[in-house]
Amino acid sequence: SQTIHQWPATLVQPVGSPLSLECTVEGTSNPNLYWYRQAAGRGLQLLFYSVGIGQISSEVPQNLSASRPQDRQFILSSKKLLLSDSGFYLCAWSQINEKLFFGSGTQLSVL
């Protein structure tokens, strides 16, 4: 069966520090991978998605970047965090035109 791992679960970072969130998927190959952000009490905002290694599409202009160094690994990064980067970050995967499955999320607080 397929599983998705996302870490860390919580993260507190000072403004201006770098960020790296990692997500891996097991039990499937060539998945579509996604990073979503959820502000407190708000909906799901798609940040990035990837249909293959090295292929990244950005949905919204922002302070963050994403990379896919391996087929089942998706990384969300920032060189310098802003206060507005705080939120709940969710990694997700799907096969094309199939169900979308989310990871457990990372609660990021930028202070």
Tell me whether residue 12 or residue 15 sits nearer to another protein (CB atom): 12
The least distance separating another protein from the CB of residue 47, rounded to whole angstroms, comes to 12
Query: Within its chain, how far is the Cα of 74 from the centroid?
Result: 7
Residues that bind another protein (rule: CB under 8 A) add up to a total of 23
Phi-psi region of 105 (alpha: psi -120 to 50; beta: other; left: phi over 0): left
Q: Under the criterion CB under 8 A, does residue 100 sit at the interface with another protein? A: yes
Please name the helix (run of DSSP H) or strand (run of DSSP E) that holds residue 20, with its range, or none.
strand 19-26
Q: Under the criterion CB under 8 A, does residue 40 sit at the interface with another protein? A: no
Q: Under the criterion CB under 8 A, does residue 1 sit at the interface with another protein? A: no
Q: Are 18 and 12 in contact (CB under 8 A)?
A: no
Q: Of 11, 28, 73, 101, which lies in the binding site for another protein, with binding defined by CB under 8 A?
A: 101
